[in-house]
Amino acid sequence: MTTRNRASLSALLLLITVLLGALVSACTADNSGGNTSTTNTSPGGAPRKAPTRKPGPLANQPLEAQAALLGSPLSPGSQLTLTFNLAFDDDALNAFVTQLYTPGSASFHQFLTPEQLVQRFAMPDAQTKQIQAWLTQQGYTQISTDPLHSSIKAQATVQTIQTSLGTQLYTFSLLNQQFYMQNKDPHLPSSIESYIQTIAGLNNLALPDIKPPRQSTHIQQLGQESDCTKYGAKQTLTQQKLAAAYQVDQLYKKDLQGQGTTIGIAEFGDPYDINDVQNYIACTGQSMPSIQNIDVGTPLPPGTGEGEATMDVELIAGLAPKASILVYQTQLQDANNPISQVTSFAQGMLDVFNRVASDHKVQVLSVSYGLGEEMFSTSDQIAINNSLRNLAAEGISVFISSGDCGAYSLRARFPQIAEVSFPGSAPYAISVGGTYLQVGDDLQRSSETVWGGDDGTPVCQNSWGSGGGVSQNSAFTRPGWQAGDGVTTSYNGTTQGVFVRTLPPQTLQAPNGLRQVPDIAAAAYPNISIYYDSAWVRSGGTSAAAPIAAAGTALVDQGLRQSGKSPLGGIPEFYRLANKAGSNQPYTDITQGDNLFYPATKGWDYTTGWGSPNFATILSMES
């Protein structure tokens, strides 16, 4: 090649380079200095800007922590793991989910895959790497982004965290519980602040009380035989009775037992003994289903646990005997050692919900855990609700127990502070309340009322009844789909001295323009036969109601799939069923009983929502 040809070629390459550079600059220029990534696109295929955070706290203190006593500063060398929850395109995603559950819309039940969720609404790679780079510069280690681009987890010393976020971490004590918390809201540099919605892990006040209601005196009465002679003794509810009460047995007649369906169970700090499950299943006369444990974060040590996980797995395995069951397990910090590497409850929920969404293997998810809203920071509640929104966008039904302390999920009634349980109060949860179900040996339902009872104790031991009421989180406005007969019934706590936690305390008002719970209900009174720790026991709680609802819905989804229909999906569908019922009865309306404040009424109410599901009817309405 001659020198002239080489020079001409060089000039041509230079011209092409300049033109390409100009084209790239034109495509990437924006008001934030060129941070738009082309790896994420709008539905039309055009590059879109990175989403930015919505107004709200980055990481605030739980309201309940205001009563805590300040302790000593955390050791600067202690290691903590933080979760930086990334901004999503909230406006676009909220609008999409609304259309997703609006019959007649072009997007109706066009559920997303995880890849579509990331491509259309999540943080692009460029901004994610920018945040990771800043964390590295500050001294954080073990930095990882989850597959949904919903959060970045990173580990650092307390000193690094305090310096990088401009806050201080202290120990606190509240009601004999030790926890840590920041002394003021953190802040981030302007270069990344707009890309991070919230930070989780700066407090660990919330710690679930893993103890479903059961009466230990019944253990001896029901016996410890493993040969099934005591299964169903003392009129306890067996798998057959539960199936008959909620029309699950009618689905069995259609050969709908969960074949080809996968059900998820979330367990936070509570293991189970597979031998207990095997014995329970053997006594139902069924074959053992496929059960797989999935460790999320720190593996959970084996053991019999407190009975929560055992009940969850047994009820789902019994009611959906041919479904595959995935048990998502994560270990939480020890209440006696709150300053540890093990995750907080809020972080554990984020980890599990994001893992379920990115795995995209289950059709339904059962969650039997919760605490009063005020035990969580507003920022953590927002982050967890956003994770539940992602699951709704994927068409995954998430059933969460509404709590076992009636209208008082803070567990104390003097003074009477009404409180709902979170995450059941999250707008994208399907909150499941509790009933007192009685079924005869002829498998006929004899009665079903609200599960509720006053045991006279000042502190709840998970036996006061069905959780329900109104959220006090101003971010949880009542969704448009929460409508129908009974939803606007008013209650005033003046005559009974019932308040909400404000300074000064304000009388409870319902409705208050915010999320109302529960949505539906199922058996919860502790008369359900469970095999736990090598013994037959009576157990229950809304911890039982959630897996019952999840199992029945999984069979409905199986029937819908066989008819070429999409699954039920998220919470709006359950209100649509109620409001289009006509002569159908998708739910058995519970009209008797109360949860220590709210009474059961016709239609929707604050004790059992729409009532208990009739799954065969629901399938016929949707087919």
Contacts of 379 (CB under 8 A, 6+ apart): 56, 57, 58, 59, 60, 198, 199, 200
Q: Select the more confidently predicted residue: 20 or 243.
A: 243
Tell me the chain's radius of gyration from C-alpha atoms: 26
Q: Select the more confidently predicted residue: 334 or 100.
A: 100
The DSSP string of 292-347 is: EEEE-SSPPPPS-TTSHHHHHHHHHHHHSTTSEEEEEEE-B-BTTB-SSSSBPHHH
Q: What is the pLDDT of residue 46?
A: 59
C-alpha 455/C-alpha 486 separation (Å) is 28
Q: Which residues pair with 416 in a beta bridge?
A: 498
Q: How do strand 324-330 and strand 262-268 relate by DSSP bridges? A: parallel
Contacts of 193 (CB under 8 A, 6+ apart): 53, 187
User: Is 2's pLDDT higher than 60?
Assistant: no
SS3 191: helix
In the CATH scheme, what architecture does the domain 217-622 have? 3-Layer(aba) Sandwich (3.40)
- The CA-based angle 51-44-356, given to 5 degrees, is 55
- Which contacts qualify for 575-579: CB closer than 8 Å, 24 or more apart? 575/481, 575/482, 575/483, 575/484, 575/519, 575/610, 576/101, 576/103, 576/481, 577/618, 577/621, 577/622, 578/484, 578/604, 578/610, 579/483, 579/484
Q: What is the pLDDT of residue 176?
A: 82
Give residue 543's identity as a one-letter amino acid code: S
Q: Select the more confidently predicted residue: 307 or 504.
A: 307
C-alpha 70/C-alpha 76 separation (Å) is 17
CATH 3.40.50.200 residue ranges for the chain: 217-622
Q: What is the pLDDT of residue 47?
A: 65
What is the residue-averaged pLDDT of the chain? 90
- The CA-based angle 78-82-87, given to 5 degrees, is 160
Residue 389 structure tokens: 């929104």
pLDDT digits (tens, 9 = 90+) for 197-233: 999 999 999 988 888 887 544 444 566 666 798 999 9
Q: What is the pLDDT of residue 461?
A: 87
344-370 average pLDDT score:
97
Q: Which residues pair with 366 in a beta bridge?
A: 265, 399
For the ranges 67-76, 205-214, 445-454, 595-604, which has the lowest average pLDDT?
205-214
Q: How many alpha carbons lie under 13 Å from residue 584 in its C-beta half-sphere?
A: 18
C-alpha 498/C-alpha 505 separation (Å) is 10
pLDDT digits (tens, 9 = 90+) for 568-593: 999 999 999 999 999 999 999 999 99
Q: What is the pLDDT of residue 177?
A: 85
pLDDT digits (tens, 9 = 90+) for 178-201: 899 999 999 999 999 999 999 999
Contacts of 244 (CB under 8 A, 6+ apart): 439, 443, 444, 445
Q: What is the pLDDT of residue 298?
A: 85
**Nearest partner of 254 among 521, 522, 582, 561, judged by Cα:** 561
154-170 average pLDDT score:
97
Label residue 4 by pLDDT band (50, 70, 90): very low
Q: What is the pLDDT of residue 375?
A: 95
Query: What percent of the chain has pLDDT above 70?
Result: 89
State the alpha helices, DSSP H only, in 361-510.
Answer: 378-393
User: Is 511's pLDDT higher than 50?
Assistant: yes
Contacts of 173 (CB under 8 A, 6+ apart): 68, 69, 71, 179
Contacts of 340 (CB under 8 A, 6+ apart): 333, 334
Q: Which residues pair with 327 in a beta bridge?
A: 265, 293
Dihedral sign of CA atoms 526, 527, 530, 535 in order: positive
Q: What is the pLDDT of residue 16?
A: 33
Q: What is the pLDDT of residue 24?
A: 31
C-alpha 383/C-alpha 267 separation (Å) is 19
Give residue 74's identity as a one-letter amino acid code: L
119-140 average pLDDT score:
97
State the alpha helices, DSSP H only, in 209-288.
Answer: 217-222, 239-245, 248-252, 274-284
C-alpha 232/C-alpha 530 separation (Å) is 9
SS3 12: helix
258-274 average pLDDT score:
97
Q: Select the more confidently predicted residue: 8 or 523.
A: 523
Q: What is the pLDDT of residue 248?
A: 98
CB distance 343 to 332 below 8 Å: yes
C-alpha 187/C-alpha 199 separation (Å) is 10
Contacts of 104 (CB under 8 A, 6+ apart): none
Q: What is the pLDDT of residue 402?
A: 98
C-alpha 618/C-alpha 623 separation (Å) is 9
Contacts of 16 (CB under 8 A, 6+ apart): none
**Nearest partner of 462 among 117, 227, 211, 177, judged by Cα:** 211
User: Is 146's pLDDT higher than 50?
Assistant: yes
pLDDT digits (tens, 9 = 90+) for 413-452: 778 999 999 999 999 999 999 999 999 999 999 999 999 9
Residue 344 structure tokens: 């907080």
**Nearest partner of 403 among 369, 366, 375, judged by Cα:** 369
Q: What is the pLDDT of residue 348?
A: 95
Q: What is the pLDDT of residue 38?
A: 36
Q: How do strand 196-200 and strand 79-86 relate by DSSP bridges? A: antiparallel
Peptide bond into 321 cis (omega under 30): no
Label residue 455 by pLDDT band (50, 70, 90): confident
pLDDT digits (tens, 9 = 90+) for 8-62: 333 333 333 333 333 333 333 333 333 333 346 555 555 678 999 999 999 999 9
272-295 average pLDDT score:
96
- Other beta carbons less than 10 A from residue 123's beta carbon: 28
Q: What is the pLDDT of residue 202?
A: 96
